[in-house]
Every structure is written in C-alpha cells, then in structure tokens.
Amino acid sequence: LDELTAATDDFAEARKVGEGGFGRVYRADALPSLPRVACGFAVKTALVGVGAQGLAELQSEVRTLSAACHPSLLPLLGACLAPERTCLVYPLCRGGSLEDRLYRTPAALERLRMLGFETPPPPLSSAARLRVLRDAASALHYLHGCSPMILHRDISAGNILLDERGNGYLADVGLARAAEATAGSSQQVSHLSTQRIFGKPGYMDPIIMQDGQASVLTDGYALGITLLVSLTGRGALGLLNACDYALDERPTRRRASRRPTRAGRRRRPMSWCGLWSGWRTSGRGSGCRSQWRCRGWRR
C-alpha cells in the first residue's frame, strides 16, 4: 500500500484518470515491485467504506483475472488487499475508453487529457470502431469458453479500453462471476442466478430484469447494444427507444405478453459469436504471453 500511495502522490486528484462503480482510477508511472511497462499503470482503488460487499467484488475480480489469459482482456498485474484501502493494478490504456472516444463530452475530453492527449483526439473511424469491438468480442468469447464459464455482466462502451495503437481491451470484470457448469446437453443455455442486478441502464437485457438470471445471452445482448452505440454514436437508452418498434418482441411495459422470453431465444450458448467470425485475423490465437509482449505490456 505504501508503494501505491507513493506512486500516485497519495492518490492525488491530479492523478485521477477515471471513476466507476467500484471506485477511482489513478495513474502511476512506475511501481518498484512490478516490471516496468511503457504505458504506465492504472491503480483502481475502492472508495473508502465499501464494506463487505465491495471487498467480495474485489476478491472475485482477483480470482477471475488471475486465472484468465487473453490478448484482448486487460490483464491484472497486481492487487493490494489492505483493510484500509483495496487496490487493483492494471496496465494504463492511454487511448481512453470507447465511450469517451465516441461521445467526446467535456468530462471525457478532460479524462483523455489526463491520459496524455494534449489536444482532443480525432473521432474514431468506422473501421477503428469495428476493430475495437472485434477485440472485445474475442475476449468475451474467451471468458464464456472458460471452465467454469465466466460471465462479465457489465459490458458497455465504458468498459472497453483502447491503447495508443487503437487495440481494444475488455476491462472491469470485477462484477463477473464464475458460473458453474450446468447439467444437460450443450444446447442448453448456461446461466447464473443472482439477487443483485448488474450492468448499466440501456445495456441490460430485459430478461435479467425479469428473473435475475445472467447468461451468455445477456452478455451478448450488452455487446450488441455496444455495437449499435459505437456505429451510431447515440446513447444506449436513446437507441432502445429508436429500435423499439423495429423488434418482433418489444420489451415494453405496455404489452407484457410481448416481452422476450428465454423460451423464444436460440439455445446455443455463444451463438452470438458467429457475427464476429469474419473479422478474426490470423495469428491472434497463438500464445497470450507473446501477444501481450507485442502490445507493450511486457518489457
């Protein structure tokens, strides 16, 4: 903890580069106990007084990411579980979040400035957006293929980060849970019941609002909304209103009988991944260590 405190100038406001549901993110240039990386470090620290629930989420993230290895999944480099302050350490993605690069609000531009952009970066091209989404989809496909299966449950444009070369990384797996293998054939939809609803408004599948079950389908729904947000530049909630009457099954309160149901969904886990198969590039599946090195995480 002393090392992280010194590296962030006692968690100074001048080093804060972001803030989310878990806590704040600070920039650190070097940490003596970790190999130096050219991009620097992002220190994600929980807000004071998060309690047992916040600590449980942190422990879940540490367990999940410690065992995960994929070139488009933001790697966990270290963790501090001190009772007075809990922290996670990641590589710093200096390209900002996909959300900030899309909307370019004053707050987003200020966060990008803290990451090193002296002037606002140019808007992302359609090809660049698709490349970032392809990377995120590849990481999500990997998570769903783990044993036990890992559900992200909080996919949004704000949780997809970019490096300086425009590569995309799926981040903030702190709300993910390892779903135990379900009985039955491979055609059944694997799911995980929960009493707490995770996710951001507009990105959450109406199914999870009804029965509290997260699945590969609810992750795929959130990724699909992220795709629409990225290609249109509109907010997630605005998109839902615009698309409402274009859907065969409308998730509205006006016609409860028309709500989407699990019985009406395709029962192929990870079937959404076929959308991305045409965008896969050669050589992406050959060794996480070498690919992380190519992307600058290693010396």
| Res. 58: pLDDT tops 90 | no
74 contacts 170 by C-beta, under 8 angstroms: yes
Domains and CATH numbers, the chain: 1-92 (3.30.200.20), 93-280 (1.10.510.10)
Question: Of 2, 10, 100, 154, which one is the catalytic site residue?
Answer: 154
pLDDT tens readout for residues 258-268: 445 555 554 44
**Average pLDDT for 110-116:** 89
Three-state secondary structure call for residue 151 = strand
Res 35 pLDDT > 70: yes
Q: Which residue has the higher pLDDT, 21 or 15?
A: 15
Please, what is the average pLDDT of the chain? 73
The structure tokens 């590589």 sit at 91
What local confidence, expressed as pLDDT, does residue 152 receive?
A: 85
Give the pLDDT mean for 124-133. Answer: 94
To the question of whether residue 44 is assigned a binding role by annotation, the answer is yes
- Does residue 215 register a pLDDT over 60? yes
- Continuous segment of H or E residues that includes residue 170: strand 168-170
Sort strands 41-46 and 23-28 into parallel, antiparallel or unpaired: antiparallel
Helix 216-232 vs helix 126-145: angle between axes, to the nearest 10 degrees?
170
- Say which residues have a Cβ less than 8 Å from residue 113's Cβ, sequence separation at least 6: none
Tokens of 174: 């702190």
Asked if pLDDT for residue 10 goes beyond 50, the answer is yes
Are 128 and 160 contacting, i.e. CB atoms less than 8 angstroms apart?
Answer: no
Portion of the chain with pLDDT greater than 90, in percent: 18
Span 199-209, pLDDT tens digits: 677 888 877 77
Tell me how far apart the alpha carbons of residues 266 and 217 are, in angstroms, rounded to a whole number: 9
pLDDT at 18 over 90: no
Q: Is the pLDDT of residue 1 over 60?
A: yes
Q: What is the DSSP string of 246-281?
A: G-SS---STTGGGS--GGGS---TTGGGGGGGGG--
Residue 146, SS3? coil
Handedness of CA 60, 62, 68, 70 (dihedral sign): positive
Contacts of 8 (CB under 8 A, 6+ apart): 15, 26, 27, 28, 43
Q: Is the pLDDT of residue 97 over 90?
A: yes
Q: What are phi and psi of 149, to 5 degrees?
A: -60, 145
- The predicted pLDDT at position 98 comes to 94
pLDDT tens per residue, range 175-199: 554 333 322 333 444 554 444 556 6
Give the span between the Cα atoms of 50 and 32, in whole angstroms: 28
Mean pLDDT is highest, among 139-148, 207-216, 233-242, for 139-148
Residue 25 has pLDDT above 70, yes or no: yes
**DSSP letter string over 4-70?**
HHHHTTTT-GGGEEEE-SSEEEEEES--TTS---TT-EEEEEEPTT-HHHHHHHHHHHHHHHHH---
Q: Confirm whether 154 is a catalytic residue.
A: yes
Name the band, by pLDDT with cuts 50, 70 and 90, for residue 253.
Answer: very low
CA distances from 133 to 72, 98, 124, 137, 140 (A): 10, 9, 12, 6, 10
